[in-house]
Structure 1
Amino acid sequence: MTSTADRETLPSDVIPVHYDLDLIKLDLSAFTYDGQVSISLEFKQQASSIFLNCKELLLHGGRLIVDGSDSDINISKIECDKKAEVAKLSLERPTPGSGMGVLEINFSGSINHEMAGFYRSAYKNVEGKDDWMFSTQFESCDARRAFPCFDEPNLKATYDFSITVPENFTALSNQPVKESISLGDGLKKVSFERVPKMSTYLLAWACGEFEYVEDFTDHEYEGRGKLPVRVYTTKGLKEQGHFALHNAKKIVDYFSEIFHIDYPLPKVDLLAVHEFSHGAMENWGLITYRTTAVLFDEKTSDSRYKNRVAYVVAHELAHQWFGNLVTMDWWSELWLNEGFATWVGWYAIDHFYPEWDVWGQFVTQESLQTAFALDGLRGSHPIEVPVKNALDIDQIFDHISYLKGSGTIRMLSSHLGVETFLLGVSKYLKRHAYGNATTVDLWAALSEEAKTDVAAFMSNWIKSIGFPVLTVTEKLGHIIVEQKRFLSTGDVKPEEDQTTWWVPLFLSEKSFTTGSENTTALMSKEATIKGIDTNCYKFNNNQNGFYRVNYPAERLVKLGEMRKQLSVADRIGLIADAAAMALSGLGSTTGLLSFLAALKDEESYLVWAELIEQLGRLRSVFSESSQDIRDGLKRFTLDLVTPAVEKIGWEYGEDEDFLTGRLRALLISTAGGSGHKGVIAEAQRRFELFTSGKDKSTIHPNLRLAVFRIAIAEGGQEEYDAILNEYLSTSAIDGKEICLSALGRVRKPELIQRFLELMLSDKVKTQDKHTPAISLSNNIHARHALWEFIRKNWETIYKQLSGNMVVLDRFLKNSLNKFVSLDVKEDIEKFFVDKDTHGFEKGLAIISDSIKGNANWVQRDQEDVRKWVKELVKT
């Protein structure tokens, strides 16, 4: 390896130009394969060895053919550094110092079951029998797990790929099939058209017994006509691909239009994969998805998955330009891929589904608040984070790269104007097409288009950890605004508050008195804004900025009184900011509760979603306080939701809009969880009819999770067994996820143990093990049992999940971040002190920070909360 100040990379003696990869022998019983790869190389300087990446492969030797030479150079020795995942190929004689050649290597590999590299996914086929499908997942560093290669994002090359598969299989790759030749013995060799220059992590292939639904773009592409768009599934599922297909064909055209660059490949394939570590993967021309992120059944699916499918399809298609056509130079700039694709994915869905209030959704826990929660911890990291060794990259595939990245892009695009911003993006894409680029390159293109120095005011947002909170002090005719770094633990040290962010204030014109100057941005630690109308102002209109605002208590009350004049996004932002101030100690929990109490006549689903999210967090954090606080917060929640849930009822209207349907499910779930007797009785009645088979239609698909949660929380063995049976037998795409989420609400100790054992069993796929963890950690009756179970079964958990560190890191963070005791924090830290934590050490730091913040909150505010509920919540 070559080490520089900022990264460890392969030596630059040779550069790959083209790969010819052939998988010639797949043993689908032993799950092994043989392959041959010929890599066209450009010689940059003389070398006696060639280094490339290799993981869990056997290299059988090979040779180097030098252009213009009479004799080949044989590989005399192969040494594999397992830790570095690098193979050193010693040569019989040195390479030339310039020119071209071809490196040929024969190798063998395994088709693993760890959702990385070339792997297999288990599923039940149309006959109900166990079966396998086969696909790849190479991002970030797992192409080397499938074939020897130069596995770095800026070592782009072209690709020819072929694979030998059973005759009854469909084989897919990035490009269309070039030819398929029958070999006899039930086999065929499928070869694909050449893939344009791209990074190794974007190469993909898949094979299995597939079927598909197909449509074509409306736009005609020069030399290619209307492009075929297909959604592939295993047999029996293709009809559930229509919604994704409907979106994909439109979004390809839309992105081609707004980026001013036609989609560059001749086809678009989307593939549903039965076991998947992430949500989806943007492989160029062959995008792979978790089934719940691409399949949707209008009759049986919960409508919230419709929202998910539309967005994830848009996100991955955005990558076909931003990430695939132009790729970040190194993993430290992952945010360039993910932050932009997240923002423009939402942008596209807002275009096609304006009635969904996408930007209102963006401000809730689905995006912005999740980013704030992580970035308010000491264990966070900058958007552009130093990555010295590429093997550490998996830990920054997180809410900072995706959600803070998209939040800052939304802030910048709102400031520049979206049209100007997209023209700058187009310039960036055209300038660096089929190559690699940096954040500086993006700023340069945007600066040219906007005629302003974007890097000057965005640099701190990308390179500094954290975000600011603006504290507002009102004076007669003016206000004073001060920015400081926000930490949820409330204990920012001076050395942690050195950054001065450029903060666009997004104050509306009506915030100012006549003739006063409209101040647009805060560019110092403190500023005075004159001419402000202190009766009518709000910072951060529509929550376009990535910062929080701490208003005086009286101002928060006034904003609450005028909330009907505010947008949905603004109302959500006020709730979230007030909650963050309570958590950190910059505000008060009783002030938050009083603010929430005024919102009981709210009608927006998205505002209710944020309100209930923050109330749920309050109840969770104060759950280990006294019984009177627990009971008081439960009654307060019930008081808030009762009028709304009784008004909305249980029945879905034929023409009811999407958000009203979501609101009904949310209110029923919350009311049932807060002790509403009527809701509980109705849920139990419907649950019995559904699980007994008497009337499967009695529970609307949108209400399965709500009803199941209420039934399991109020019930016992009978209800547990009924939902477990539904989990084991459901054919609904979202059914297993819903059942696992519901089962985690179980309260009886013996049933909690049963569920924990189920979680570790082979009945729960590795991709899904974080779902029970989330539900159990949110369950005050189960979270301590979950930690004890992890401690006792650590070796088994590590063995099951560490084959894919993304999965293990996600599992731990979701299991352990809800505790409120410093003793538990210390217990967790002591347990892991002598363990190998490489790959999830950042996750452990986040867990510690989260628990510390929760513990501080309870210690500081529990007496005030006790008095508040005693005085203001009726018994």
Structure 2
Amino acid sequence: MGKGFYISKTVGVVGIVLGAGALVTIIALSVVYSQEKSKNNENEVKPTDAVTSAPTTAPSNEPWDQWRLPQTLSPQTYNVTLWPRLEPDPTGLYIFTGMSSVVFRCVEKTNLILIHSNKLNMTKQPTLMALGSKPAPIIESIVMHTKTQYMAIHLKDELTAGESYELYTEFVGELADDLGGFYRSEYNENGVKKVVATTQMQATDARKAFPCFDEPAMKAVFHITLYHDPATVALSNGVVIVDSTLVTRTTFAATEVMSTYLLAFIVSDFGFIEQNIDKLQIRIFARQEAINAGQGEYALIVTGPILKFFERYYNVSYPLPKSDQIALPDFNAGAMENWGLITYRETALLYDKEISSNGNKERIVTVIAHELAHQWFGNLVTLRWWNDLWLNEGFASYVEYLGAAEAEPDWNVKDLIVLNDVHRVFAIDALASSHPLSSKEEEIQKPEQISEVFDTISYSKGASVLRMLSDFLTEAVFTQGLQVKTLPSCAVDRNNNSLPKTVQEIMDRWVLQMGFPVVTIDTTTGQITQEHFLLDPETKPDRPSEFNYEWFVPISWTKNETTQPLYWLLNKNGELTWVLANINVTGYYRVNYDNDNWQRLLNVLQASRQSIPVINRAQLIDDAFNLAKAGIIETTLALRTTLFLNSETEYMPWEAALDNLDYFYLMFDRTEVYGHMQKYVGRQVKDLFDYFTRLTNWQDVPQGHTDQYNQINALRVACSTGNEDCKTLITNWFKQWMDNPNVNPIKANLRSTVYCSAIAAGGEEEWNFAWEQFQNATIASEKDKLRAAMACATEPWLLNRYLKYTLDPEKIRKQDATSTIINIASNVVGQPLAWDFVRANWEYIFKQYGGGSFSFSNLINGVTKRFSTQFELQQLIQFKDDNAHIGFGSGSLAIQQSIERTNANIKWIEKNQKAVLDWFKNPS
């Protein structure tokens, strides 16, 4: 039954009824749902009289009060028929109706069927049929448990172990705009409002679309049928096998055995482009206007090469007959790897060569590579439970760079993992409130706990640690291990230096304990030591570690510019002129040195920086600043690592410096340090600005991928530090555009910087112009640039008005509301306004924008990242206490992290403000 089309007697009869009288049947269900909905003050679907709700009682040890399904039943196949309405009913409600049957095998005898169902109204008593020789037990009662999201079906007698049964349900649900489960997305095209019915099941929202065993290990085969308007097209994981034209009914081929969270079904009037590669159908779907404008062509061009690369990488053919990718106007995540029907935000799939920037292009190719990597690692082979999500997302976050490099070999994109992932996650993993890559199953139970693990640790630390593993094993051995489904258990030390360790022995310490080490190298004694790196050394992790926070650390290093063999952490002796460790930052650790070696490295940076690889120039800056934040070295030593930048033209060192100096801006842009810091940074960036003036005259695009990024840095930093030539450029460009709104003279790469700088320097007229352009823009990446730039305004009343817009989905889409608030909070003028706004509207924000969404923790971190006073700390603690009854969902850990970060900021400023002020007055 794995690949063939299966239909039971029950569903067969129902299919005939639907074919003949679909309109009467489903309109009747619509009326039932609308009546139930109008009675519901909490906007949740109520059950029919045939199904009762569980009373609110204290948790018990009963199975329906547990968050995990019992292992008594195992699903085999589903037949799901759904009809989404793309027009509201007379009450203004959008709904979908459906029927579903699931065939399951009884593993252990039981008189209880527990199946997930959330916000679905059963319109008919569920029925149970036996598929073996014995009759099915009679259903005694059905109870809905809304807290744990179960439908509990109590049976008069027990199911027989080894026998198969079929459970049939009919239901109706709301096609809401909540971005989860089966939901609706809206957009305007040529003045006409359009509605899309689409899905986002990960992690626990398949149960909002139909009753199902909604756990990743509960794999089954799915048969999907969609009813829809003849003017629309239906898509799902499988290829279309039947497409009739009554109310149109589209039936899809059976899926492979798969998890519920990978299901997708969509009804829209989108257009598409396609190509076939070795009989594989590849299609890109989007709004017809976007397809007509050619915005899907880049995605179509790179998809084929990336798929072929991963076939070679895994040594497994792509397991499906088609690969559909679709760009949605409303989508909460960046993209979702649904098997054979990958869904994206428009900004992650659509590219316009005239308007989209180099950064937009890189995002598209890396996100596509990430999701295509999942078609094997995640979909074909799936995690058993969400506590090991890092294997899924960390792996895809690593190999996305490999796939992108295949599609764009001239970009040198693999190096950027250091900036985008390694340095990024260090900031979180250096907190005592961090968590291990792999948690215990019992720690990840509730839906909001599951959402919480979709964080930087799972994605970026997972990628960083796997990259380290691949490096010390060698990429060939790592890839071979994937292909044979196991990594070598023999010693992996390539230097035979008396530390033979298995992969498991080494990796357990990186996976099962949180954090990472700082490796200190004393070149005067030859001693190497390691210590758990904490941003605030006075804090202690809540989690005990059986490994006592010690790691097996692979040391790659140079001695007098000569690369040495890989070295596992141990003592060494010798005369060293200078030492540089962690070459190309392949290891997931920071490095500290004795003062003499730091001075030698600083001298090399000043005199002959090319002696140090570009990635390691960035590493020295990032390590030094973070070691200083932790109080391990002097802050002035870290600042001295930026002295050589006045002659540096490479992107990675500049980006590392600017990322770290941003922390100084956050801490000091309300103090006297700010003016002196601005002067210093302005002097350092002047030569870079002049370099790009000579190279491009600001009219040409640099040839190199990262040179394009550094051109943006030069313009942004020069303008923000008051460079008059830069300000003149930006003012003139924006004025030209305002004078002729139909012709934008600003180069695509430079638009984000120009828009922000011009709006910051302007007032209401500039802001309103940007708002008008935002409303009229038809390209998602352009809308994103304008939306972010409007947060750069310096008039408080403009920012307050903008904050209010985030509560109105007609103005700011729900998918963009939290990131807009974060953008406003990043503005020194907007930060207190955003903080007040979030506190005043927390209950609404929490309910509307996703206490369970993956990115919800970003909001809490974003509005509090500037906190550095006792008063702000007390406000944060009060906010936590005041809203405990509402909750924080997937942002719960972010609250604790923000408190910890604020405490560290307070201590750091008290210790460092005077020294920093003195240094910026006289840098040397």
Same fold (TM over 0.5): yes
Could you say which residue in structure 2 is the equivalent of 1:61? 125
User: CA 1:793–1:68 in 2, change beyond 3 Å: closer, same or farther?
Assistant: closer
* Alignment pair present for 1:368 and 2:422: yes
* Alignment pair present for 1:520 and 2:567: yes
Could you say which residue in structure 2 is the equivalent of 1:566? 612
My pick for the range that moved more, 380-389 or 63-72, is: 63-72
* Unaligned segments of structure 1, at least 5 residues: 221-225, 429-441
Per-residue CA deviations over 1:666-725 (Å, capped at 9, x if unaligned) read 211111111111111220111011122167242111111111111122222222222222
3-state SS of 2:669 partner: helix
Could you say which residue in structure 1 is the equivalent of 2:468? 411
Could you say which residue in structure 2 is the equivalent of 1:550? 592
Could you say which residue in structure 2 is the equivalent of 1:174? 237
User: CA 1:237–1:713 in 2, change beyond 3 Å: closer, same or farther?
Assistant: same
CA distance in 2, matches of 1:797, 1:281: 24
Could you say which residue in structure 2 is the equivalent of 1:723? 770
Q: CA deviation at 1:829?
A: 1.4
Q: CA deviation at 1:661?
A: 2.2
Q: CA deviation at 1:735?
A: 1.6
Could you say which residue in structure 1 is the equivalent of 2:682? 638
CA distance in 2, matches of 1:166, 1:509: 70
Matched-pair contact (CA < 8 Å) for 1:117–1:142: yes
Structural mapping, 1:411-810, within 5 Å = 411-428=468-485, 453-475=502-524, 478-493=525-540, 498-508=548-558, 520-522=567-569, 527-531=570-574, 533-560=575-602, 561=604, 562-625=608-671, 627=672, 629-649=673-693, 650-653=697-700, 656-693=703-740, 696-762=743-809, 763-802=811-850, 804-810=852-858
Q: CA deviation at 1:654?
A: 6.4
CA distance in 2, matches of 1:804, 1:685: 45
User: CA 1:598–1:557 in 2, change beyond 3 Å: closer, same or farther?
Assistant: farther
Could you say which residue in structure 2 is the equivalent of 1:349? 404
- Which of these residues, 381, 393, 396, is aligned with residue 435 of structure 2? 381
Matched-pair contact (CA < 8 Å) for 2:415–2:615: yes
User: CA 1:457–1:616 in 2, change beyond 3 Å: closer, same or farther?
Assistant: same
Matched-pair contact (CA < 8 Å) for 1:136–1:205: yes
User: CA 1:268–1:636 in 2, change beyond 3 Å: closer, same or farther?
Assistant: same
Matched-pair contact (CA < 8 Å) for 2:356–2:749: yes
CA distance in 1, matches of 2:849, 2:780: 23
User: CA 1:268–1:662 in 2, change beyond 3 Å: closer, same or farther?
Assistant: same
Structural mapping, 1:199-210, within 5 Å = 199-210=259-270
Matched-pair contact (CA < 8 Å) for 2:327–2:343: yes
Matched-pair contact (CA < 8 Å) for 1:767–1:807: no
My pick for the range that moved more, 135-144 or 761-770, is: 761-770
Per-residue CA deviations over 1:209-234 (Å, capped at 9, x if unaligned) read 011111222xx3xxxxx201111112
- Which of these residues, 137, 140, 146, is aligned with residue 82 of structure 1? 146
Paired letter, 2:261 = Y
* Alignment pair present for 1:162 and 2:162: no
Q: CA deviation at 1:621?
A: 1.6
Matched-pair contact (CA < 8 Å) for 1:737–1:771: no
CA distance in 2, matches of 1:241, 1:493: 50
CA distance in 2, matches of 1:107, 1:386: 35
Q: CA deviation at 1:76?
A: 3.4
Paired letter, 1:65 = M
User: CA 1:25–1:724 in 2, change beyond 3 Å: closer, same or farther?
Assistant: closer
- Percent identity, aligned pairs only, is 29
CA distance in 1, matches of 2:818, 2:689: 30
3-state SS of 1:727 partner: helix
3-state SS of 1:155 partner: coil
Q: CA deviation at 1:107?
A: 1.6
Could you say which residue in structure 2 is the equivalent of 1:291? 346
Per-residue CA deviations over 1:126-148 (Å, capped at 9, x if unaligned) read x2322211111011111011110
Could you say which residue in structure 2 is the equivalent of 1:434? none
Q: CA deviation at 1:375?
A: 0.5
My pick for the range that moved more, 452-461 or 247-256, is: 452-461
- Which of these residues, 330, 334, 337, is aligned with residue 389 of structure 2? 334
CA distance in 1, matches of 2:360, 2:903: 34
- Which of these residues, 129, 140, 161, is aligned with residue 97 of structure 1? 161
3-state SS of 2:128 partner: strand
My pick for the range that moved more, 566-575 or 404-413, is: 566-575
Q: CA deviation at 1:481?
A: 1.5
Q: CA deviation at 1:647?
A: 2.0
Paired letter, 1:84 = T
User: CA 1:694–1:786 in 2, change beyond 3 Å: closer, same or farther?
Assistant: closer
Q: CA deviation at 1:265?
A: 0.5
Q: TM-score, normalised by structure 1?
A: 0.91
3-state SS of 2:778 partner: coil
3-state SS of 1:760 partner: coil
Paired letter, 1:783 = Q
Matched-pair contact (CA < 8 Å) for 2:826–2:862: no
Q: CA deviation at 1:383?
A: 0.5
Matched-pair contact (CA < 8 Å) for 2:95–2:173: yes
CA distance in 2, matches of 1:3, 1:247: 51
CA distance in 1, matches of 2:675, 2:839: 31
CA distance in 1, matches of 2:490, 2:723: 54
CA distance in 1, matches of 2:801, 2:386: 41
User: CA 1:549–1:420 in 2, change beyond 3 Å: closer, same or farther?
Assistant: same
Per-residue CA deviations over 1:169-219 (Å, capped at 9, x if unaligned) read 110011110111112xxx2110000101111101111110011111222xx
3-state SS of 1:855 partner: helix
Could you say which residue in structure 2 is the equivalent of 1:849? 900
Could you say which residue in structure 1 is the equivalent of 2:878? 830
- Which of these residues, 296, 299, 304, is aligned with residue 359 of structure 2? 304
3-state SS of 2:647 partner: coil
Q: Please provide the CA RMSD for this pair.
A: 2.3
* Unaligned segments of structure 2, at least 5 residues: 1-59, 495-499
Could you say which residue in structure 1 is the equivalent of 2:21? none
Count of aligned pairs: 834
User: CA 1:690–1:312 in 2, change beyond 3 Å: closer, same or farther?
Assistant: same
CA distance in 2, matches of 1:40, 1:520: 55
* Alignment pair present for 1:813 and 2:870: no
Q: CA deviation at 1:12?
A: 1.9
Q: CA deviation at 1:838?
A: 4.4
My pick for the range that moved more, 203-212 or 380-389, is: 380-389
Matched-pair contact (CA < 8 Å) for 1:80–1:87: yes
Q: CA deviation at 1:831?
A: 1.8
Matched-pair contact (CA < 8 Å) for 1:509–1:518: no
My pick for the range that moved more, 744-753 or 374-383, is: 744-753
CA distance in 1, matches of 2:790, 2:835: 17
Matched-pair contact (CA < 8 Å) for 2:337–2:343: yes
CA distance in 2, matches of 1:718, 1:387: 55
